[in-house]
Structure 1
Amino acid sequence: MHGHTHDSFDYRVGATRMLANRRSYVLEGVAENARFDPGLTVQVPRGQHAASAIGRTSERFVHKMNQKYCF
């Protein structure tokens, strides 16, 4: 879960990896995001255990964000 971005990033929130590799715009031959990696590949864990752990972490993160930013 993430807001709109034109940047690349790779960080963790708890056990959840937040990864973006945005190409963004290329204007007059110049890439807006110089960190874009066209060869990036990501291994996604298989199995119910990995999906359950990711889901639980994401739920906790959303709950914290709701407490902080929702009135």
Structure 2
Amino acid sequence: ARMMAQVFDDYVHVPMQRIVGNALRPEDSRDPFGVGEAHGVIARCYAWLEARLQDGPWAACGRFTIADCAAAPALFYG
């Protein structure tokens, strides 16, 4: 569960913050290269998660855990 929480924190939440933060910046301060990188990280992580989460509705241990708590904020924006 802790490993999955870290996956959501590092490979979903961090790039999602980069994308959302960029959208809130003034047009002349945006970072299209950084946003492109962030989309790539999320896409690779989503592919990995899709394969890993086929067995049930929860991120780890077959039940609601800290991993699901870590996933919720970032996936809200996703």
Give the shorter-chain TM-score range. 0.3 to 0.5
Q: From the two aligned structures, give the one with the greater helix fraction.
A: 2
Q: What TM-score comes out, normalization by structure 2 length? A: 0.35
Q: From the two aligned structures, give the one with the greater strand fraction.
A: 1
Asked which structure has the greater RCO (Cα within 8 Å, sep 6+), the reply is: 2
Q: What TM-score comes out, normalization by structure 1 length? A: 0.37
